[in-house]
Structure 1
Amino acid sequence: MQIYNPIPPVKTMVKIYPHLAFPVDSGVVQDKKLMYLTKEQESFTIWMKSLVFHSKGCTVFDSKGSLIYRVDNYNSKSCGNDVFFMDLCGKVLFTLRHKKLGLFKSWEGYNSTGTKFRLKKNFKILPNGSSSSYKVVMGSLIADDDPRSFYKIVNRGSVFAIKDRSGRLMAEVRNKQSEVSGLDLGRDVMTMVVEPQVDHSLIMGIVIAYNLTKCKL
């Protein structure tokens, strides 16, 4: 499924990237499997605004200021059923779907290659009472306790980290600060730092699902 929408010029972008570089031609990438794999630590900017008029979502830029991802939520409510995570050309990379199993709610992500995940809140009590955590189960969506690969999200205040099951840091998201003044650019602008050899499209899909649990999209 592909969704194409015209991207109108947005003047407020300059507040996030004063020297904004507009989208590069992604067609030059030959190996799509390596297209989203980080070679070194990479930084991305998440702007919690959709480029589609009267639509909720967010826009993602790479470290050079090029638009790389976009998310559009066409539901009337911020935490509706289906949300589409796309590349800059409008190709759907993940479809995020709201699920409810008994008393518990979760978000599931699917893509065309069969990758899927489920994100749900972890109700275990953490040592730090001000923290909360979420579990991301990869692959099988039937048994959450199946010892397969999974990630966990630990949230401490305005910063949250994504780690693998061994505790290795995969990515960290925090409020973005101005390079000139060092001041926060606002709650709707965040920096996502992804560690080397990590699929940043999957990480971004998890970040979207996490924000959807909080009805921020």
Structure 2
Amino acid sequence: MVQIHPVQTLPVDSGVREVKSSPYVTTEQESFTIWMRSLVCHSKGCTVYDSKGNLIYRGDNYDSKSCGEVYLMDLYREVLFEFQQSFGLFKSCEGCNSNGTRFRLRKNFKISPRGSSSSYKAVMESSKDDQQSCYKILNHRSVFIIEDGSGRLMAEVKKKQSNVNGLDFGEDVLTMVVEPQVDHSFIMGIVIAYGLLKCKL
């Protein structure tokens, strides 16, 4: 049986406190494993592990029919982002957190050559400083790339490959590589919003 990630438990005292007190901004390139399965029975979602096999995030859709109860949570079930989907003329998904930061993800409707990558745009706003930031999401076949407004690579998501005897994890196990100085909780928020727009969550 193929393991998605090696099981590693956290020490009750030191390890758990370290995860909770650490910021979501990486100081070096970091790799995560995304399993597109919820830990909640009969619910859609995803489960995210860090490179050491520790559970870092949970994404759960408690109402898959209306997509009205979708949350990104940390290890302690604290809600980091709440999501709402809009089904108007231009389908979009909005994520917001308790700090007043919100973003809206929607597809760029431009005519592209057949077989080329599809693109999405995420606009983030903060109620604290009224600043607005834009991000570009490119999806080409099985690779999902997130860039900032200047074109700098922030993260890449693709199907996870096993180096052991060529074993296949399946379509629902992904690798997410986040670049240094990038808030990986925000990146996960974009990944979940994208999954909702693609009806994968």
Give the TM-score, by structure 1 length: 0.82
Separation in 2, partners of 1:30, 1:74: 25
Pair 155,76 (structure 1): closer, same or farther in 2 beyond 3 Å: closer
- Aligned-pair identity (%): 65
Residue 29 (structure 1) shift: 5.4
- Aligned partner of residue 207 in structure 1, secondary structure: helix
Quote how far apart the aligned CAs of 1:104 are: 1.0
Whole-angstrom distance in 2 between the partners of 1:42 and 1:66: 13
Structure 2 residue 26 is matched with structure 1 residue 42: no
Matches within 5 A, 1:1-80: 15-17=3-5, 19-23=6-10, 25-28=15-18, 35-77=23-65, 80=67
**Given that residues 22 and 67 in structure 1 are in contact (C-alpha distance below 8 angstroms), is that contact kept between their aligned partners in structure 2?**
no
Give the distance between the partners of 1:71 and 1:209, measured in 2 at CA. 10
Amino acid at match of 1:65: G
Query: For residues 156 and 183 of structure 1, what CA distance do their matches in structure 2 show?
Result: 23
Once the 2 structures are TM-superposed, how far is the Cα of residue 163 of structure 1 from its aligned partner? 0.3
CA deviations over 1:186-213 (Å, ceiling 9, x no partner): 1100000000000000000001100110
The 5 A counterparts of 1:1-217 are: 15-17=3-5, 19-23=6-10, 25-28=15-18, 35-77=23-65, 80-100=67-87, 102-126=88-112, 129-139=115-125, 148-217=132-201
Shift in Å, 1:129: 4.3
**Cα–Cα, structure 1 residues 106 and 161, in superposed 2: closer, same or farther, change >3 Å?**
same
Q: CA deviation at 1:115?
A: 1.1
TM-score in terms of structure 2 length: 0.88
Deviation at 1:27, TM superposition (A): 2.9
How many residue pairs match? The answer is 195
The answer to whether the Cα contact below 8 Å between 1:23 and 1:88 also exists between their aligned partners in 2 is no
Deviation, structure 1 residue 185: 1.0
Q: Residues of 2 paired with 1:64 and 1:185: CA distance?
A: 18
3-state DSSP of counterpart to 2:17: helix
**Alpha-carbon deviations, 1:80-136, whole Å to 9, x = none?**
223010001111000011124x41110000001111100000012346742100000
Mapped partners of 1:81, 1:188: distance in 2? 23
